[in-house]
Chain A
Amino acid sequence: MRTSENSIDPMERDHIVLTRMMSDAERLCRSDDPFMLGQYRHLRGRVAALIEMTRPPKTSRNAP
């Protein structure tokens, strides 16, 4: 099946996947388990950094 996701370049595809992961990571960071919270923030930080790195350079020129 051809989707909009597999028709784009690998970096942009990864960026879309990571953006989806970010919303899950944000949800985990609403945990009220204080022991897990730090670990979820660690995960969110990793995803956030990767989102920044994979932001397609040519389109990010116009990103907000």
Chain B
Amino acid sequence: MSSTAHDTRHSAQPFAPSAHVVQLLSLSREELEGLQLARLKRQLARLRQSSAYYRVRMERARIDPDAIGSLADFFAAFPTSTKVEFLADQNDHPPFGERLSIPREEVALVNMTGGTSGQGQEIYGRSQRDIHTQGYLHALPWFLAGLRPGHIAFNCVPAGGLTTGGWGPGEGLRIAGATAFHVGGTLSTDAKIDLMLRVGDVNFIYASTNYLHRLTDALLRRGLEPKRAFPGMRTLFIAAEGYPIEWAGRIAELWGCTLQEGYGSTQCAGFGASTFDDGVVDRNGARALMHLFEWETLFEVLDPVTMRPVKSGETGELVVTNLAIEGSPVVRFRTGDCVRFISSRDTRSGRSVHAIECGTVGRFDDMMKIRGNNVWPSAVDAAVFAHGEIAEYIGKVFTDAEGKTECEVCIALTEQAASKLPPDCAHLLGSVQNAIKERTNVLMKVSVVPRNELPEFTYKARRWKDLRQQGYRL
């Protein structure tokens, strides 16, 4: 089983460059922006013909794609879009909305966002061409991180379903030419480890930050040192969750290889940035950078109040425009993601693309990423307070002793309910748990506590605590 991969790994140059990638990365900033402008104008000209949603926006803003002379012209004139506007469009023109810019019968893949905001799910129709592009936007950061044809890869992210994150990795690993084991969501952690040990020469792991932690912890509990169990491991690639920098260093040490990170989203149709082969920790032990794939996606980092670009080193909201996606592309979409922007002048990488900081991507709203689900406290509020017996609650998300992400909700009853319900409140607790699961897709532990153990919120309720990073100890 491992011989082919082993031969491939050792016969090929381990980090042989791609002429394609070299050519893109050798563009000067001016050339890159020229390429972006050309692709943008093509995209807008196509959308004017094919998408009523964007045609109306262009007409209202009096934008003629042919007359756009610079990216600055575009940024100044083209209106941004939000999730709320996309949902309204879908509601008026179900199921895809007038954003869809290919004939419905050419939609070959449907991707939806998680739907746990309580607001609704954005829906994206992807063409056959887009499916390949989504694969490219996964394969690209992995290639840059050292994945090569013939490598053995373990994809620990659940595959399939309706999300981009469910389909993109499979396509990306096929495009990369890797031998992929899609173990996410189908095998227990111990079963994954058993399979990895049987395969032996595993070269690449893709996982959420939390799952890589859990996998590492499970290996150590079994007395296995990752770097000895898997000496052929070249790349660990994480996404989706922040982490303490000390943890990143410890993971790299335990596995004997570099930890890499990517930033991606459904709106980016895959990854929009990655650490390339730099690792998540720089030479000085500080957080490294994820460089943006700006030839595929146009990025802006804006102050969410003034909507002006932030300066290098400042944080702002990431706004994205697809340059190559043809079905349901986004144009100046406000992601709500909070990133620290680093200009290409300040990255010290010599690359002409801009960057964002590793390990610190957050949200401007209070969304929490829990086991791959986007969970808004408002969604839990709605589930909990649908039960009239409940006066207040608090919740916490944390990393348990086995390295698993867990969520705990403590409810307090109204005086009236406390006097009537049995002490264990079993029926109520089960109902609350089911309601939360239905709205967030996350199973949370629910318990009842006396009312005086919970705080009184006098202004904005701060019911949730995210304690996960405290649990990242190896």
Q: Are A53 and B35 in contact (CB under 8 A)?
A: no
Say yes or no for A33: interface residue by CB 8 A criterion: no
Say yes or no for B24: interface residue by CB 8 A criterion: yes
Say yes or no for B57: interface residue by CB 8 A criterion: no
Q: Are A45 and B129 in contact (CB under 8 A)?
A: yes
The 8 Å CB contact of B132, one of A50, A60, A63, is A50
Q: Are B136 and A53 in contact (CB under 8 A)?
A: yes
| Tally of chain A residues near chain B (CB < 8 A) | 22
Chain B, 313-361, CB within 8 A of any chain A CB: 324
Chain B 27-60, CB within 8 Å of chain A: the 1/0 string?
Answer: 1000110110111001000000000000000000
Q: Are A54 and B27 in contact (CB under 8 A)?
A: no
| With A57-B31, A57-B35, A61-B31 as contacts: A45 and B20 at CB distance below 8 Å | no
The 8 Å CB contact of A61, one of B19, B38, B106, is B38
Say yes or no for B173: interface residue by CB 8 A criterion: no
Chain A residues with Cβ below 8 Å from B324 are: 52
Say yes or no for B295: interface residue by CB 8 A criterion: yes
Q: Which residue on B lies nearest to A54, using beta carbons?
A: B20
Chain B residues with Cβ below 8 Å from A2 are: none
Say yes or no for A27: interface residue by CB 8 A criterion: no
Chain B residues with Cβ below 8 Å from A58 are: 27, 31, 35
Chain B residues with Cβ below 8 Å from A41 are: 106, 108, 128
Say yes or no for A62: interface residue by CB 8 A criterion: yes
- How far is it, in angstroms, between the C-alpha of A64 and the C-alpha of B45 when the chains are bound? 10
Say yes or no for A1: interface residue by CB 8 A criterion: no
Chain A 18-53, CB within 8 Å of chain B: the 1/0 string?
Answer: 000000000000000000000001101110111011
Chain A residues with Cβ below 8 Å from B164 are: none
Chain B residues with Cβ below 8 Å from A11 are: 19-20, 23
Total A-B pairs, Cβ < 8 A: 61
Say yes or no for B131: interface residue by CB 8 A criterion: yes
CB distance from A62 to the nearest CB of B (A): 7
Chain B, 152-207, CB within 8 A of any chain A CB: none
Q: Are A60 and B128 in contact (CB under 8 A)?
A: no
Q: Which of B19, B37, B42, B132 has the most CB of A within 10 A?
A: B132
- How far is it, in angstroms, between the C-alpha of A29 and the C-alpha of B129 when the chains are bound? 14
Chain B, 99-138, CB within 8 A of any chain A CB: 106, 108, 127-133, 136
CB distance from B311 to the nearest CB of A (A): 28
Q: Are B128 and A46 in contact (CB under 8 A)?
A: yes
CB distance from B293 to the nearest CB of A (A): 12
| With A42-B128, A48-B129 as contacts: A60 and B20 at CB distance below 8 Å | no
CB distance from A38 to the nearest CB of B (A): 9
A-B contact pairs, 30 of them (CB 8 A): A10-B19, A41-B106, A41-B128, A44-B128, A45-B108, A45-B131, A46-B129, A46-B132, A48-B132, A49-B130, A49-B132, A49-B136, A52-B129, A52-B133, A52-B324, A53-B20, A53-B133, A53-B136, A54-B20, A57-B27, A57-B32, A57-B35, A57-B295, A58-B27, A58-B35, A60-B35, A60-B38, A61-B34, A61-B38, A63-B38
Interface pairs A-B: 4 shortest CB-CB: A45-B128, A49-B132, A61-B34, A45-B129
A-to-B contact residues, CB < 8 Å = 9-11, 41-42, 44-46, 48-50, 52-54, 56-58, 60-64
B-to-A contact residues, CB < 8 Å = 19-20, 23-24, 27, 31-32, 34-35, 37-39, 42, 106, 108, 127-133, 136, 295, 324
